[in-house]
Every structure is written in C-alpha cells, then in structure tokens.
Structure 1
Amino acid sequence: MRWSGVTTELNKLVPKKVNILSWRAELGKIPTRSVLRIKNINIGSLTCKLCDKAEETIDHLFTACQMSTYYLWSKIESWCKLPPLFAFSFRDLMVFHNSLVATKLRKELVLSVLQMTVWCIWKARNDAMFRQHRIIKEKMVDDVKMLS
C-alpha cells in the first residue's frame, strides 16, 4: 500500500506513530531545524543536535549525520546481517528493503527495523533538544533492538 504518491509503505508490524513519522518524514513534514527556519520560527542554531556538524535536515538527520551513518546504521546492518546500507535520502532508506534478495517476510521485518531505527533517531534528537539529554549512541542501538 502506498500513501498518496510516497514510497513509504504502511507497515502493520510497527506502531501507528512510527508509520506516521516515516510517512511525514518522506513528505518533508517533520519539524527539523531547517523546516522550522523556513516557517520563520527562530530556534537559534540550525546545527544537528546529534553531531553538531551540519544543518539539521531530514536527509542529514537520517542518512548523513555521523551518529546515524557511521555508528547506528552500521550496527543495525551487522545485527540484521544486511548488506551495506547506502542511503543518500530518506526515501532511499524506506525502499532499501525492496533491494534485498529475501522472502517477503524478511523484507517486511527489515522495513520494520529501519522504521524503528528512524523512530529512535528522532526520539534521541528530541530528547537532546527539549530535555537536554546527552546522546548515548549505545543506548540508541539498544532501544532499536528492544523495540524491534
């Protein structure tokens, strides 16, 4: 099932809030710092809360951020025994499972893990931004494993 032209699939294996986050992220409708700036909401620095290296966009947060790409996604690849995940955009993440030579069930499970990882990245970003929590990358991996 496709939602109004986006590639993110409705996934019955994850909570609705995770499906909604994935769908909204693919539409560019989650409030990253760059989106808030476009809406003329002054939030100070535009720098990503996870890496403090680049402007926080949807694609940066989920596919280019050092925290997500060099640590989290590589741990998920290893844990799920996946080939290297080369994603340059959020959409690339959401269609990665289709490129696998695997059963339909395995592809659905991989999509579930990808979506739960996105959820954990977003939650960690929000905790750092609004609750001043320190980012603990090992905890992010543990959260994905526990929730998936």
Structure 2
Amino acid sequence: MGAGLWRWDDDPGGSFSAVAVRKWLAASCPGVSNPKLDWCKWVPIKCNIFMWRLMLNMLKWIPTKLALLRRNINDENTTCVLCGDGEDEGDHIFTGYAFSMSMWNDVLRWLGLPNYFAFSVSDILDIHKVDGLSATRKHIIKGMVMVCFWRNWRARNDCIFNQKMGNVVEVVVEIKAFGFLWFSNRYKDFVNHRKGWSNVMLL
C-alpha cells in the first residue's frame, strides 16, 4: 500500500468501523460481557461513552479506587472520599450513599416519577421503561439518567482532585440545566412549540 495509508488489521478488507472496535474489545476482554447500549441522540457523546463503559464492567472500565487497586496502580485506601463509608466502587458511588440517593430522588421527582430505591447501577438503567409513559417522556428520562450518572461521576472527581465537596442542590440544578441545554439544542422546534422545558415533562 502507498505511504500515508492506514488500514484496520482486524478486518480482512482493512476497513475501520465502530462495530469492528466493539468486537475487538469483546475479544480482548473475554471475561467481560458485551452489553448493548441504545445511545441517546440528544445527550453529548461523552455521556453515551461513559454509560457504555459503565455497562461494560464498572470494576475494569471506570477508574474507581477499587479498580485502580486491582490494577496495582493505587494505594490500599479504597474508602469512598464522598462519605468515608464504603468502598470507592461503582454501585456505591452511583447508588449507595446519601449524596447519590438524594440526587436520584430529586431528579426523579422532577421527572414525575416516584422515589426509587436502587441498590445497584443496573437498577437505574431501565427506569425509563416504566409502563404508562409516552415515547417522548421515555426518551427524555433515558437521557436524563445518563446526565445524572455523568454528573455524579464529576462530583466524585471534583472531591478527589479539587477537594470540592459536592452539594446535592447545586448538582441537581446543573443536571436540569444541562438537560435543557442539550435537549433543546437537538429539538429546538419541539421545545419552543411546547412552551418550555417544564411542559415537556408533562408529555
């Protein structure tokens, strides 16, 4: 082949695709399941990728303290910096301490859903599939769940790297603001026609 040309060695024809990468990752990590994530088009790619990594396997793909310790690149202290109780691992960070539980209850109440007691990440992922909701509301709730996970992870990182303790009220306000910004950017005519973000929640 000529100079300057690139080819994907894992494909017989040399073609590169996201599907090929996914297959390569699955083959490289035989102990990791290969879940299917239906990406949400109105949230940024960073949120979709974060959820994909979270679904693949939290202990390997999300760099929690416990995950880093298992890779031998961290000290032995795996205590959660946000509450000082429990280990810094996926289920605890996203559902297992007061900050995350308050965040979920506030956001779900705003979305018109009842309080939800989750014990693991998997308990939250399908919450948008509740019966009786319109397709539009399910689409919105699915995206908002992604925004919540992403913002919760940022709060955890701010505490570790910037010594900034998260405030639930401020984080929930940011989640609502990001949600409106990203959804309205994708569906400008829809939001304007419905006279605002709050009315969208009633669909």
Q: Compute the TM-score of the two structures, normalised by the length of structure 1.
A: 0.89
Q: 1:14 aligns with which of 9, 23, 43?
A: 43
Offset of residue 31 of structure 1: 0.4
- Name the counterpart of 1:91: 122
Larger relative contact order (CA 8 Å, sep ≥ 6): 1
- Name the counterpart of 2:98: 66
Offset of residue 65 of structure 1: 1.8
Percent of residue pairs bearing the same amino acid type: 33
Offset of residue 7 of structure 1: 4.8
Offset of residue 45 of structure 1: 2.3
Q: Distance in 1 between matches of 2:145 and 2:124?
A: 7
The 8 Å contact of residues 34 and 56 in structure 1, kept in 2 or not, is answered as: yes
Higher mean C-alpha displacement, 47-56 vs 107-116? 47-56
Offset of residue 95 of structure 1: 1.1
Offset of residue 21 of structure 1: 0.6
Q: 2:86 aligns with which of 54, 78, 81?
A: 54
Offset of residue 116 of structure 1: 0.5
1:19-47 deviation per Cα after TM superposition (whole angstroms, max 9, x unaligned): 01111011121101111111111245211
Instruction: Identify the structure with the greater strand proportion.
Output: 1
Higher mean C-alpha displacement, 26-35 vs 3-12? 3-12
Q: Distance in 2 between matches of 1:87 and 1:6?
A: 20
Q: Distance in 2 between matches of 1:8 and 1:95?
A: 11
The 8 Å contact of residues 61 and 68 in structure 1, kept in 2 or not, is answered as: yes
Q: 2:160 aligns with which of 126, 129, 137?
A: 129
Question: Quick one: which amino acid aligns to residue 175 of structure 2?
Answer: V
Q: 1:23 aligns with which of 47, 52, 55?
A: 52
Cα–Cα, structure 1 residues 135 and 106, in superposed 2: closer, same or farther, change >3 Å? same
Q: Which runs of 4+ in 1 moved over 4 A?
A: none
1:33-81 deviation per Cα after TM superposition (whole angstroms, max 9, x unaligned): 1111111112452111222211011111111122101x11111121111
Secondary structure of the structure 1 residue equivalent to 2:126: helix
Give 5+ residue unaligned stretches, structure 1. Answer: none
Aligned-pair Cα RMSD in Å? 1.7
Q: Distance in 1 between matches of 2:136 and 2:169?
A: 28
Aligned residues: 145
Q: 1:80 aligns with which of 102, 107, 111?
A: 111
The higher radius of gyration belongs to 2
The 8 Å contact of residues 51 and 146 in structure 2, kept in 1 or not, is answered as: yes
Q: Distance in 1 between matches of 2:124 and 2:115?
A: 12
